[in-house]
Amino acid sequence: MVRSTAGMRVIGIMTLAGVFAFAAVTPVEQARALYHRTDYAAALKLLLPLEIRDGHTWELAGKSYFMMGDFKRAGEAFQKAVAADPARSDSHLWLGRAFGRRAETSSPFTAPGLASKARQSFEKAIELNPRNAEAMNDLFEYYLQAPGFLGGGLDKAAALAARIRDLDPPEFHLAQAQLAEKRKEWGTAEQQLRRAVDLAPRQAGRLLDLAKFLARQGRHQESDAAFQQAARIEPASPRVLFERANTYIRTKRKIDEARLLLKKYLASPLTPDDPSREEAEKLLKQAGG
């Protein structure tokens, strides 16, 4: 087929427009796209040669390090993000997460100091943005798990849970369930989890919380039913695959099925909100895969 001169000119213009549009994408924007595709090493390869000046870019570098498990470098990047933009709540949140993960893997001598810095960072994030739901949830987990001498405690967790109610009612009931389970009030914990499911019936995550609780109680048939319901609600969700496999492995049952679920998970397109591939590979190895 012979194209007209005018047609060829239009095609040429469109091609040039595409080239210029691609060139207009900055390295930071490309790095952010790579981060969301979980290619953290490639994101850092674009970011590190830059002369980074703003907090958003330092935060992106820190999150990439964090997702790769390099919590020390992540913390250093988040500290630079905080220095560049002290009023940004999310940078304090991620700095707290980095301190928290370092505390989990540090010696008994350094862990308490790192844990306290994690708490202080979460508290600062909420001070800067009282509606930062992620910071609220992370601080709640800290209060729930940390001993009193590190600033934790069930009373603090309960008080914070009351503030979560206004931001996210289903999450409030999850928090109440966690408090009840900590107190070994199993019936109350189950009631709260089922209330969360009732309030958000289209959120598979609420059913996953219930399924994991039932498995911890040895109620495996009911747990499996909750997992199946979650899969029907979000059939393409990688997290459903991971949590089901993780629960099977923890309860030492259906190991063959757990291996299949993990292999399917590893073949899925993941996001930074999903458990890491490294975590899934570790579970698969644990299951003999």
Give the Cα separation of 14 and 185 in Å (integer): 66
Handedness of CA 8, 10, 11, 13 (dihedral sign): positive
Whether 11 shows a pLDDT value over 50: the answer reads no
As a whole number of angstroms, the longest Cα–Cα distance in the chain is: 81
Look at residue 6 and tell me if it is in a domain.
Answer: no
Q: What residue type is 288 in one-letter code?
A: G
Which are the contacts of 168, defined by CB distance < 8 A and separation ≥ 6? Answer: 133
Lowest-pLDDT range of 19-23, 25-29, 142-146, 252-256: 19-23
- Identify the domain boundary among 215, 233, 251: 233
Look at residue 152 and tell me if it is in a domain.
Answer: no
Number of domains making up the chain: 3
Could you tell me the CA-to-CA distances from 277 to 74, 261, 280 in Å, in that order?
A: 18, 13, 5
Q: Is 55 in the same domain as 115?
A: yes
Q: Is 28 in the same domain as 58?
A: yes
pLDDT digits (tens, 9 = 90+) for 92-115: 999 999 999 999 999 999 999 999
Structure tokens at 287: 């299951």
Structure tokens at 284: 């698969």
Look at residue 172 and tell me if it is in a domain.
Answer: no
Handedness of CA 267, 273, 275, 276 (dihedral sign): positive
pTM of the model: 0.88
Q: Is 208 in the same domain as 247?
A: no
Look at residue 142 and tell me if it is in a domain.
Answer: no
DSSP, collapsed to helix, strand or coil, labels residue 86 as: coil
DSSP secondary structure, 19-77, as one string? HHHHHHS-HHHHHHHHHHTT-HHHHHHHHTTS---SHHHHHHHHHHHHHTT-HHHHHHH
Look at residue 149 and tell me if it is in a domain.
Answer: no
Look at residue 28 and tell me if it is in a domain.
Answer: yes
Give the Cα separation of 204 and 229 in Å (integer): 8
Q: Is 211 in the same domain as 253?
A: no
Could you tell me the CA-to-CA distances from 7 to 3, 16, 18, 111 in Å, in that order?
A: 6, 14, 17, 68
- DSSP letter assigned to residue 267: T
Could you tell me the CA-to-CA distances from 247 to 152, 174, 214, 216 in Å, in that order?
A: 27, 18, 10, 9
CATH number, domain of 225, equals 1.25.40.10
pLDDT digits (tens, 9 = 90+) for 196-238: 999 999 999 999 999 999 999 999 999 999 999 999 999 999 9
Structure tokens at 134: 């992620």
Look at residue 228 and tell me if it is in a domain.
Answer: yes
Q: Which domain holds residue 199?
A: 179-233
